[in-house]
Structure 1
Amino acid sequence: MIEFVGTPIKQMAFSELGGITSKVTPTEYIFNDVRGETRHTKQFGKTDPPTITLKRAVDHAGTAALMAWHQLARLGDDTARSGGTLVIFDAGGNRQSTYVLEDAWLSEINITSVKAGAADVAMVECKITCQEIWIKP
C-alpha cells in the first residue's frame, strides 16, 4: 500500500506507485582553452521537477477529492501547492520508506478506460509534481 498525506486531500491510499522521476538534462559546453584547443564538456542543464505517479481504484469520494485538487492547479491557485509525505508499506503493513515532498501539486489526472459490463476495475492515475523530494531518514 502507498499512502499520500498532505493538503488539500489530507490522507489517501493508493494501490500502485508507477514511479518517481527526477531529471537533470546534460548540456554540452564547447570552448577554446588557453592553448586554443577546442574542448567539449558536459554541464548541468535544464532540470525537470520531480514527478510521482500513483494509481488507485476509482471511487466517488477519492476521485472527487483528486479532481478538486487538480482543478486548483488548473486555475493557478497557490493553495494547490502543498507539502506532503509519501509512505510505502510492504504487504505486511510495515513501513518501507517515506518520501517528503515540498510544494507538491496534482499536475495530471487520468481515468483509465473501462467497457460496460466488463469485470475490470476503473483506475485513476495521478501525476504529482513537486519542487523537491527526499527520503526521510
Structure 2
Amino acid sequence: MADSGKTQDQVVSAARFYLQFANLAPLAFSELGGITSKVGSQEYIYNDFQGNTIHTKQYGKTDPPIVTLKRALDADGNAKLLGWHALARVGDPKGRGDGTLTVLDASGSQSIVYTLHNAWCSELTVTSMRAGDNQVAMIEIRITCEEIKVPPPA
C-alpha cells in the first residue's frame, strides 16, 4: 500500500479506564479486556437468467457489542457491580442505561470516550482465590449494549 503522505495519529497508550452510568457511581478499572462487535455473513445462492449458479455473501446475524473490564476486588466496587448485575438478572429496567467508558493515558488526559447505549451488566465473574495466597483478587464484568458510539476525531 502506498504512503498517502499523512502521518499516523498519536496512538493510545491506555493506563486507566472509567465507567460511568446514571444509576452507577463512577468506577475505575485496571484492564479493558476488549470491545467486540460482530456482523456474521450469510451465503446466498441463486441462478441468474443464463442458468449460472451465483454464490454471494450477505450481511447475517448481528451480535450485540460487548465490553469486558477488570478491576481489583474491593467491597465498594463489588457491591456496586453485583447490584447492577442483579438488576439485569431480574429484568429490572433500571439495570439498563446509557453510559460512557473513558480511556485515559498515563498523563491522565482523556484519550477516547465510548458511549454505550442501552447497556447492562450481562456477566460478572470474581476470580478464584485461595486462602493464604497473596495474589490480588479480580472482578470481571461483561457489559452488553445495543450500540457503541465514538465521537469523530477533532
Question: TM-score, normalized by length of structure 2?
Answer: 0.86
Number of equivalences: 137
Consecutive aligned runs of 4 or more in structure 1 exceeding 6 Å deviation: none
Superposition pairs of residues 48-87 of structure 1, within 5 angstroms: 48-87=63-102
State, as a whole percentage, how many aligned pairs show the same letter.
53
The Cα shift of 1:115 comes to 1.2
Instruction: Flag the structure with larger Rg.
Output: 2
1:91 maps onto 2:110 in alignment: no
Give 1 or 2: higher strand fraction: 1
Task: Indicate the RMSD between aligned Cα atoms, in angstroms.
Answer: 0.8
Give the equivalent residue in structure 1 for 2:127: 112
1:10 maps onto 2:50 in alignment: no
Amino acid at match of 1:30: I
Q: Which runs of 5+ in 1 are unaligned?
A: none
Separation in structure 1 between the aligned mates of residue 92 and residue 48 of structure 2, nearest angstrom: 49
The Cα shift of 1:8 comes to 2.1
Separation in structure 1 between the aligned mates of residue 127 and residue 36 of structure 2, nearest angstrom: 21
SS at the partner of 1:71?
helix
SS at the partner of 1:34?
coil
What does the per-residue CA deviation read over 1:93-121, in whole Å, with 9 as the maximum and x for residues that have no partner? Answer: 11111101100100000000111111100
Amino acid at match of 2:94: T
The Cα shift of 1:136 comes to 2.2
Q: Which runs of 5+ in 2 are unaligned?
A: 1-15
